């Protein structure tokens, strides 16, 4: 009988990606509701040492496949490894990050295993009555939320956007089991030859990793408004992000958009400056630690989710705020 909640733990260059601990946090909740265990699958070369991190964040067992062919991500050896583990362990649920790797692997595995996949989920829960996994994701261009179940096939599989789920607190005393598995990889499984791995010079901007985000909306009045935001971001050691209106106006790049059709973020501090707080924007940031909003309209919906709100013209308020932060830092 299918049992246990599995998470595909993602690593790059031997470093665990944040989405792995986020998924384990959610898997822990689901497994506890089902009275089952959380397994993480960790693939790579010389990655065993990272298994403890997964256990400290909530995994009961970590299955490690350590092999030179898994050093760099290549679809086929990774797919074969996970497929073999799924065949051996018969999980009830398998979760992937909706990253470029997860988006490549999950549909291939779903087809090979012959089960369903719900991509890009923003919510996961166990149905109290049926004990099926309820997988929720935006549908019809984000105009409604669809909850999908996979009734007849196992495992139930989902990809989850990074930044959506909350990791558990790290607990160094947490104990678990590390299981080494051999999946019989051979050179015949490597259908591409890696000649060279070239890293991008500049680290790609990833607003989901920032502790402080200074986000600007249409209320900035133009692209030059972001110069002021950049000053605040620098003073706060944060990054700039934005609403969709600023992206659509061509004031800022799409990679910085927060919201339903942008990124889901959960920084410690989120500044919403000249942002009205449309539902599609809130969907991407309302779980932030502390939300500080400046808006000239006291009825802007952003104030419903803000912890601190300032009603005023940001062109007047922001320079004062920046001055104070700079003073406090000096
Ligand atoms: P506005 O709604 O125009 O708000 C501007 C705010 O600035 C107002 O509240 C105003 O009072 C204030 N303001 C103006 N001047 C000043 C000033 N001088 N000082 C202080 N305050 C001032 N939106 C997203 O952000 N992210 C998404 O991912 C996203 N996805 C979407 C998906 C779908 C399917 C749809 C239909 C919409 C989506 N939207 C998204 C768009 C969303 O509905 C809003 O249109 C958008 O968030 C509005 O951006 P805004 O708050 O910057 O602009």
Pocket of ligand 1 contains residue 309 by CB under 6 Å = no
Atom of ligand 1 lying closest to residue 314 CA = 19
Pocket of ligand 1 contains residue 138 by CB under 6 Å = no
Pocket of ligand 1 contains residue 281 by CB under 6 Å = yes
The position carrying tokens 């490597």 is 190
Pocket of ligand 1 contains residue 142 by CB under 6 Å = yes
Copy the structure tokens of residue 162.
Answer: 């990074």
Pocket of ligand 1 contains residue 296 by CB under 6 Å = yes
The predicted structure's pLDDT at residue 233: 92
Instruction: Quote the ligand 1 centre to 278 CA distance (angstroms).
Output: 6
- Calculate helix-pair angle for 314-329, 225-235, nearest 10 degrees: 20
The predicted structure's pLDDT at residue 3: 95
The rounded mean pLDDT for the chain is 93
- Condensed to tens digits (0 to 9), the pLDDT of residues 180-235 reads 999 999 999 998 888 988 876 656 678 998 999 999 999 999 999 999 899 999 88
Choice from 244, 288, 313, 318 to test ligand 1 binding pocket (greatest atom count within 8 A of CB)? 244
Burial of 13 (0-12, 13-18, 19+ CB in 10 A): exposed
Mean of the pLDDT values across residues 320-326? 87
Instruction: Quote the ligand 1 centre to 296 CA distance (angstroms).
Output: 13
* Contact between 118 and 179 (Cβ < 8 Å): no
Choice from 207, 219, 248, 277 to test ligand 1 binding pocket (greatest atom count within 8 A of CB)? 219
The predicted structure's pLDDT at residue 201: 64
Copy the structure tokens of residue 49.
Answer: 């040492």
Of residues 293, 287, 319, the one with CA closest to residue 307: 293
Q: Give just the sign of the alpha carbon dihedral 64, 67, 71, 76.
A: negative
Q: Is it the case that residue 142 has pLDDT exceeding 70?
A: no
Instruction: Quote the ligand 1 centre to 100 CA distance (angstroms).
Output: 28
Pocket of ligand 1 contains residue 84 by CB under 6 Å = no
Dist. CA 71–CA 43, nearest whole Å: 8
The predicted structure's pLDDT at residue 306: 97
Instruction: Quote the ligand 1 centre to 244 CA distance (angstroms).
Output: 7
Instruction: Quote the ligand 1 centre to 218 CA distance (angstroms).
Output: 6
Dist. CA 292–CA 311, nearest whole Å: 11
The predicted structure's pLDDT at residue 236: 87
Element containing residue 75 per DSSP (H, E): helix 75-89
Pocket of ligand 1 contains residue 25 by CB under 6 Å = no
Instruction: Quote the ligand 1 centre to 280 CA distance (angstroms).
Output: 9
Q: Is it the case that residue 144 has pLDDT exceeding 90?
A: no
Dist. CA 172–CA 149, nearest whole Å: 35
- Condensed to tens digits (0 to 9), the pLDDT of residues 58-87 reads 999 999 999 999 999 999 999 999 999 999
pTM over 0.90: no
Segments in 166-265 forming alpha helices (H): 225-235, 244-248
Which of 328 and 243 is assigned the larger pLDDT?
A: 243
Dist. CA 283–CA 261, nearest whole Å: 9
Which strands, in side-by-side order, build the sheet including 177-180? Answer: 117-121, 156-160, 93-97, 5-9, 38-44, 61-66, 177-180
Query: Residue 136: pLDDT band by 50, 70, 90 thresholds?
Result: very high
Copy the structure tokens of residue 83.
Answer: 């497929």
Q: Is it the case that residue 326 has pLDDT exceeding 90?
A: no
């Amino acid at each position: 009988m299918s049992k246990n909640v599995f998470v595909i733990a993602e690593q790059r260059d031997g470093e665990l990606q944040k989405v792995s601990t986020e998924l384990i946090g959610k898997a822990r909740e689901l497994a506890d509701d089902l009275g089952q265990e959380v397994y993480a699958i960790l693939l790579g070369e010389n990655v065993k040492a990272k298994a403890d991190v997964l256990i400290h964040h909530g995994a009961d067992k970590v299955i490690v496949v350590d092999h030179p062919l898994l050093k760099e991500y290549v679809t086929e050896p990774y797919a074969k490894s996970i497929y073999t583990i799924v065949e051996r362990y018969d999980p009830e649920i398998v979760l992937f990050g909706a990253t470029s790797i997860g988006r490549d692997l999950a549909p291939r595995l779903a087809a090979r295993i012959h089960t369903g996949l719900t991509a890009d989920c923003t919510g996961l829960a166990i149905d109290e009555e049926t004990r099926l996994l309820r997988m929720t994701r935006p549908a019809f261009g984000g105009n409604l939320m669809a909850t999908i179940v996979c009734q007849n096939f196992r495992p139930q599989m989902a990809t989850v956007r990074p930044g959506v789920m909350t990791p558990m607190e790290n607990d160094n005393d947490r104990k678990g089991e590390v299981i080494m598995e051999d999946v019989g990889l051979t050179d015949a499984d490597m259908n591409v030859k890696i000649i060279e791995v070239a890293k991008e010079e500049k680290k790609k901007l990833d607003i989901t990793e920032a502790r402080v985000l200074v986000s600007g909306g249409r209320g900035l009045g133009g692209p030059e408004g972001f110069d002021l935001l950049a000053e605040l971001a620098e003073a706060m050691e944060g990054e700039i992000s934005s609403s969709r209106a600023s992206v659509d106006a061509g004031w800022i790049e799409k990679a910085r958009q927060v919201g339903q059709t942008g990124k889901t973020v959960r920084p410690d501090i989120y500044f919403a400056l000249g942002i009205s707080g449309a539902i599609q924007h809130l969907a991407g940031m309302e779980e932030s630690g502390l939300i500080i909003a400046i808006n000239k309209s006291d009825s802007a919906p952003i104030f419903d989710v803000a912890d601190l709100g300032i009603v005023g013209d940001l062109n007047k308020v922001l320079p004062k705020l920046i001055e104070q932060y700079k003073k406090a830092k000096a």
